[in-house]
C-alpha cells in the first residue's frame, strides 16, 4: 500500500470508530506532516481519497471536516493490507465448519448462500421437466453431451442477444451449475503454482478452487461502493506474473458492489493489454432491483478473453445444477475438461430448463422474484435500523440478496458466528471471504427468504448478541 493510502486508511478508521466526530475539523496539513513524517503531497492525496470515499468535505479557506452521514457512504470493505506477494490459500476447513453449522433446517439462514426455494416456480418447472423427458430422444444421451443441449444453448444465447451481446452458441458450454463452470475455466487457463488475482473480500469457492489446484492468490481489494480497486489490479499486473483473474462485476459476493460500465470497460482494456483472461462470475446479474440488468464485462471483450459464467441456480432452478460458461477463445479447452471430469450435465435437467425457457414465462417469473427480493431488502434494512447498535454499518445493494455488515468495534465475527449458531441463527462471518482470514469485523446476511415473525425475532436476537459482544 502506498503511503497516502496508509494514511487515508488510518484516518478512515478513526472516523469509522467514532474517534473523529461528524462535523469536527480534520488536522491541518502541518500537523499531519509533522505527526506522520510524510510530505504535504502525501497528506493532500490522502485527503483527496477520504473525500472520494465521502468521509470528509473541504470548506473553503477553512480546511477539511468529517462529512455528515460519512458512516453511510464509506466503503464497508475495510481494506486488508494487500499481500505483498502472492500466497498459498488454506481456507477449506474454516469454510466447511461454517457451512456445516448452518445446514440444519431449523436454523434461521442468514448465513446461507441461497434464496428461499419458495421464490421459485418449482411446480411449473416440474411440468416442463415431465413434458420434455416424455419427448426425449434416446439419442439425446449422446447428442446432448458437451457443449450441451442445443435448444438450451439457443435459449441462453438469445438472452445474451437481449443484452446486446452476439454470443456464438459454439462457445457456450453447459455445466453442473456455475461453480463447475468457474472451476473448469480456472483449470483451462492455469497450472499448479500459477498466480491468480481474486477479490478481497470474495466468494469463498474461488479460494477453495485455488487451494485445490495448488495455485497462488493475489487479493485485490473490493469496496462496497465501487467494487474492485482497478489501480491495485494494475499494480499487481506490474509486480506479479498473473495468469488469470476471477472477479464478480455485478452484485459481488459478499459486498453487493457493482462496477460501473466505465470501470468494466477499463478492466477489460487492462486485461487485453496484459493478455490475461478473466473468469467473470455473474450468477446474480439477473437479480437486479432496478429497471435493467447491469451488463457484464463480457460486453466489452473483443479478444475472447472473458469467460462469462452463470447459472439458473439463483434465479430459477436450485438443485437442477444447470449452469454455463460463454468461454470465448477457451471454449474448446473447457469443453474437453468438462468431458474429462464429469462428462455431461444432467440431460433431463437441461431439457426441462430448455422447455421452461421456451414456454414457462421466465421473464415474468424474474420480474416477480426481483420485486420480492427488493421488498425483503427493505424489510431487512428496516429491521437492522431498528435493532443494530449505532456504530455498525451495512450496505444497501441494488441487486442480489446479501447485505455486508460492518460490526461495531471489538465484535469478532467468528465469535459472533458461534454465539449466533447457539441461538439458532446462521451468519456468514467475514474471514471465510478472505485468503488472509481478514474481515473479522464483518458478516454477510442473506435477505433472500420471505420475512416472518421468526426472522424479525432472529434479527433482534442477533443484534443483541452484537451489543453484548461489543461491551
Ligand atoms: C458468487 C457465486 N458464484 C457461484 C456460485 C455457484 O453457483 P451454482 O449453484 O450455480 O453452482 C455461488 C453460489 O453460492 C455464488 O454465490
CATH number at residue 277: 3.40.640.10
Across 24-98, the runs of DSSP E, i.e. the strands, are: 56-59, 63-66
**Which residue's CA is the closest to the ligand 1 atom numbered 7?**
178
Q: pLDDT for 183-195, tens place per residue?
A: 999 999 999 999 9
Lowest-pLDDT range, 5-19, 67-81, 127-141, 242-256? 67-81
128 in the same domain as 238? yes
Ligand 1 atom closest to residue 182's alpha carbon, by position in its atom list: 4
Counting atoms of ligand 1 from 1, which one is nearest the CA of 114? 14
Question: Is residue 199 domain-shared with residue 156, that is, in the same domain?
Answer: yes
Q: 176 C-alpha to center of ligand 1: Å?
A: 11
pLDDT band at 464 (very low <50, low <70, confident <90, very high): very high
Confidence of residue 316 (pLDDT cuts 50, 70, 90): very high
> Which whole number is the average pLDDT over 4-19?
80
In eight-state DSSP terms, residue 39 is -
Confidence of residue 17 (pLDDT cuts 50, 70, 90): low
Q: How many CA atoms lie within 13 A of 381 on its CB side?
A: 15
Q: Does some domain include residue 85?
A: no
Neighbour-count burial of 264, counting CB atoms closer than 10 A to its CB (0-12 exposed, 13-18 middle, 19+ buried): buried
Asked whether the CA dihedral 225, 226, 231, 237 is positive or negative, the reply is positive
Same domain, 252 and 345: yes
Q: Report how many domains make up the chain.
A: 3
Of all protein residues, the one whose alpha carbon is nearest to atom 6 of ligand 1 is: 179
DSSP tag of 192: T
Q: What is the CATH number for 383?
A: 3.90.1150.10
- Per-residue pLDDT band at 71 (split at 50, 70, 90): low
**SS3 call for 366:** helix
- State the closest ligand 1 atom to the C-alpha of 318, by its place in the atom list counted from 1: 9
CATH classification at residue 23: 1.10.10.10
**Does residue 177 have its Cβ closer than 6 Å to ligand 1?**
yes
Q: How far is the CA of 186 from the centre of ligand 1 (A)?
A: 15
* Full domain range(s) for residue 344: 121-362
Cβ neighbours for 278, distance < 8 A, ≥ 6 positions apart: 244, 245, 246, 247, 267, 268, 271, 297, 301, 305, 306, 307
Residues 258/252, Cβ–Cβ less than 8 Å: yes
82 domain-assigned = no
Find out whether 173 and 181 touch, Cβ atoms under 8 Å: yes
DSSP conformational letter for 458: H
pLDDT band at 103 (very low <50, low <70, confident <90, very high): confident
Q: Average pLDDT of 157-171?
A: 95
73: left (phi over 0), alpha (psi -120 to 50) or beta: alpha
Give the residue among 436, 361, 422, 462 at the shortest CA–CA distance from 107.
422
Cβ–ligand 1 contact at 309 (below 6 Å): no
Residues 6+ apart with CB under 8 A from 166: 160
- Is the Cβ–Cβ distance between 277 and 237 less than 8 Å? no
Tell me the pLDDT band of 70, cut-offs 50, 70 and 90: low
Residue with cell 452463470: 310
Across 383-409, average pLDDT:
95
Contacts of 164 (CB under 8 A, 6+ apart): 295, 299
Across all residues in the chain, what is the average pLDDT?
Answer: 91
Mean pLDDT check: name the lowest of 19-28, 337-346, 444-453.
19-28
Report, as an integer, the average pLDDT of 378-404: 95
Question: Do residue 98 and residue 62 come from a single domain?
Answer: no
| Ligand 1 neighbour 283 (Cβ under 6 A) | yes
Atom number in ligand 1 closest to CA 252: 1
On whether both 150 and 202 belong to a single domain, the answer is yes
pLDDT one-digit tens code per residue, 118-151:
999 999 999 999 999 998 888 888 888 899 999 9
Q: How confident is the model at residue 73 (pLDDT cuts 50, 70, 90)?
A: very low
In the DSSP assignment, the letter for residue 85 is: S
User: Could you tell me if 343 and 373 lie in one domain?
Assistant: no
| Residues 298 and 162 reside in one and the same domain | yes
Which residue would you say has higher pLDDT here, 17 or 392? 392
Kindly indicate the confidence band of residue 72, based on its pLDDT and cuts at 50, 70 and 90: very low
Residues 252 and 399 in one domain: no
Instruction: Give the H or E element holding residue 429.
Output: strand 428-429
- Residue 441, Cα to own-chain centre: how many angstroms? 18
Nearest CA to ligand 1 atom 5: 179
Going by pLDDT thresholds of 50, 70 and 90, the confidence category of residue 292 is confident
> Do residues 150 and 223 both lie within one domain?
yes
80: in domain: no
- Per the listing, cell 431498528 goes with 386
Mean pLDDT of the 433-443 span? 92
Query: What is the pLDDT at residue 414?
Result: 93
Phi/psi of residue 62, each to 5°? -130, -15
How far out from the chain centre does Cα 67 lie? 28
- Provide DSSP, 319-359: TT-EEEEE-GGGHHHHHHHHHHHT--S-HHHHHHHHHHHHH
**Least-confidence region, from 78-82, 236-240, 441-445:** 78-82
- The pLDDT, as a whole number, for residue 145 is 85
Q: Is 178 in the pocket of ligand 1 (CB under 6 A)?
A: yes
- Does residue 276 share a domain with residue 127? yes
Question: For the segment 78-88, what is each residue's pLDDT rounded down to a tens digit?
Answer: 454 444 467 77
DSSP-derived 3-state class of residue 230? helix
User: Is residue 443 domain-shared with residue 456, that is, in the same domain?
Assistant: yes
Q: Of ligand 1's atoms, which has the minimum distance to the CA of residue 312?
A: 10
What 8-state DSSP symbol labels residue 408?
A: P
| 311 ligand 1 Cβ < 6 A | yes
- pLDDT, position 78: 45
d(CA 74, CA 50): 9
Residues 413 and 442 placed together within one structural domain of the fold: yes
Mutate to test the pocket of ligand 1, among 173, 206, 314 (most ligand atoms within 8 A of CB): 314
Amino acid at each position: 500500500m502506498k503511503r497516502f493510502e496508509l494514511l487515508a486508511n488510518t484516518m478512515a478508521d478513526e472516523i469509522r470508530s467514532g474517534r473523529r466526530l461528524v462535523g469536527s475539523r480534520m488536522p491541518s496539513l502541518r500537523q499531519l506532516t509533522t505527526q506522520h513524517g510524510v510530505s504535504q503531497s502525501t497528506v493532500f492525496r490522502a485527503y483527496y481519497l477520504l473525500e472520494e470515499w465521502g468521509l470528509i468535505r473541504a470548506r473553503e479557506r477553512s480546511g477539511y471536516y468529517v462529512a455528515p452521514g460519512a458512516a453511510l457512504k464509506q466503503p464497508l470493505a475495510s481494506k486488508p493490507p494487500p499481500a505483498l506477494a502472492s500466497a498459498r490459500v488454506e481456507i477449506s476447513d474454516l469454510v466447511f465448519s461454517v457451512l456445516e453449522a448452518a445446514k440444519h433446517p431449523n436454523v434461521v439462514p442468514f448465513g446461507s448462500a441461497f434464496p428461499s426455494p419458495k421464490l421459485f416456480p418449482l411446480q411449473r418447472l416440474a411440468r416442463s421437466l415431465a413434458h420434455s423427458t416424455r419427448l426425449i430422444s434416446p439419442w439425446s444421451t449422446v447428442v446432448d453431451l458437451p457443449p450441451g443441449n442445443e435448444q438450451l444453448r439457443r435459449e441462453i444465447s438469445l438472452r445474451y442477444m437481449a443484452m446486446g451481446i452476439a454470443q456464438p452458441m459454439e462457445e457456450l458450454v453447459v455445466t453442473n451449475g456455475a461453480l463447475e463452470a468457474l472451476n473448469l475455466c480456472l483449470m483451462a487457463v492455469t497450472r499448479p503454482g500459477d498466480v491468480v488475482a481474486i477479490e478481497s473480500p470474495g466468494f469463498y469457492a474461488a479460494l477453495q478452487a485455488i487451494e485445490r489446484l495448488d495455485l497462488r492468490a493475489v487479493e485485490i481489494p473490493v469496496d462496497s461502493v465501487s467494487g474492485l480497486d482497478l489501480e491495485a489490479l494494475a499494480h499487481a499486473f506490474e509486480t506479479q506474473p498473473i495468469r488469470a483473474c476471477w472477479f464478480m462485476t455485478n452484485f459481488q459476493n459478499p459486498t453487493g458492489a457493482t462496477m460501473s460500465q466505465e470501470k468494466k470497460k477499463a478492466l477489460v482494456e487492462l486485461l487485453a493489454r496484459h493478455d490475461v483472461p478473466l473468469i467473470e462470475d455473474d450468477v446474480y446479474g439477473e437479480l437486479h432491483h432496478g429497471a435493467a440488468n447491469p451488463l457484464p464485462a463480457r460486453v466489452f471483450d473483443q479478444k475472447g478473453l472473458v469467460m462469462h459464467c452463470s447459472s439458473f441456480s439463483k434465479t430459477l432452478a436450485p438443485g437442477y445444477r444447470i449452469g454455463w460458461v460463454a468461454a470465448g477463445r477457451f471454449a474448446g479447452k473447457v469443453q474437453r475438461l468438462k468431458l474429462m471430469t464429469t462428462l455431461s450435465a444432467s440431460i433431463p435437467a437441461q431439457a426441462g430448463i430448455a422447455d421452461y425457457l421456451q414456454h414457462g414465462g421466465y421473464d415474468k417469473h424474474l420480474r416477480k422474484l426481483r420485486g420480492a427480493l427488493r421488498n425483503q431488502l427493505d424489510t431487512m434494512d428496516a429491521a437492522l435500523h431498528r435493532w443494530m447498535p449505532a456504530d455498525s454499518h451495512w450496505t444497501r445493494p441494488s441487486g442480489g440478496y446479501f447485505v455486508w455488515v460492518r460490526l461495531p468495534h471489538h465484535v469478532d465475527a467468528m465469535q459472533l458466528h458461534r454465539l449466533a449458531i447457539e441461538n439458532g441463527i446462521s451468519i456468514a462471518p467475514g474471514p471465510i471471504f478472505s485468503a488472509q482470514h481478514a474481515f473479522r469485523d464483518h458478516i454477510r446476511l442473506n435477505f433472500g427468504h420471505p420475512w416472518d415473525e421468526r426472522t424479525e425475532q432472529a434479527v433482534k436476537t442477533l443484534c443483541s448478541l452484537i451489543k453484548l459482544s461489543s461491551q
